[in-house]
Amino acid sequence: MTMIAITAAAALMAGMLASDPTDTSLDDAYVLGFELPRMGGEVQELSDYEGKVVLIVNVASRCGLTPQYEGLQSLYEAKKDRGFEILGFPANDFGRQEPGSNESILEFCSGEYGVTFPMFEKVVVTGEDATPLYQALASQPEPIGGEPRWNFTKFLVDRDGRVVARFGPRVAPEAAELVEQVDALLGDSDS
């Protein structure tokens, strides 16, 4: 009988620990629990962005949607001081539209579009070889989850590190539907 009581108590404790709302490691919705190298080589813990509203975007330099860099940079400049971040992840998954080296990608983004938001080293965003961040994004429930289907798919992450919205590649960074959700998460009512 004592062994049963101990087992029940242990199970109860394990259940309480697993449901601890501050323990994001047990929460599949939390997507900032990864480390990834930024352009330049330094490793960035994405958990450093917790407390901010984050837009995660897979980008490419030779895509018909590449001019979205301009809109992304404008959005970043307009809202970064209020706790907004954009994280750019170059990927060569679609039509080989990001064939360059990390150095050439960074040079292109900063030179052609004045990009100053954080850019990460090239990653894979689809299939078995997808980086763990993109595996986590794909594993989200519908309609947010699923692999990106093209460059410039955007995932909006709240201040707690959870994905709350997904925007397709053709949704421009300045689109009202995207900006309104960013502003709502930032707590802006008049932006």
Q: Which residues are catalytic?
A: 63
The amino acid at residue 147 is: E
Q: How far apart are the first and last CA of the chain?
A: 63
Q: What is the three-state SS of 18-72?
A: HCCCCCHHHCCCECCCCEEEECCCCEEEHHHHCCCEEEEEEECCCCCCCCHHHHH
User: H or E stretch including 9?
Assistant: helix 2-18
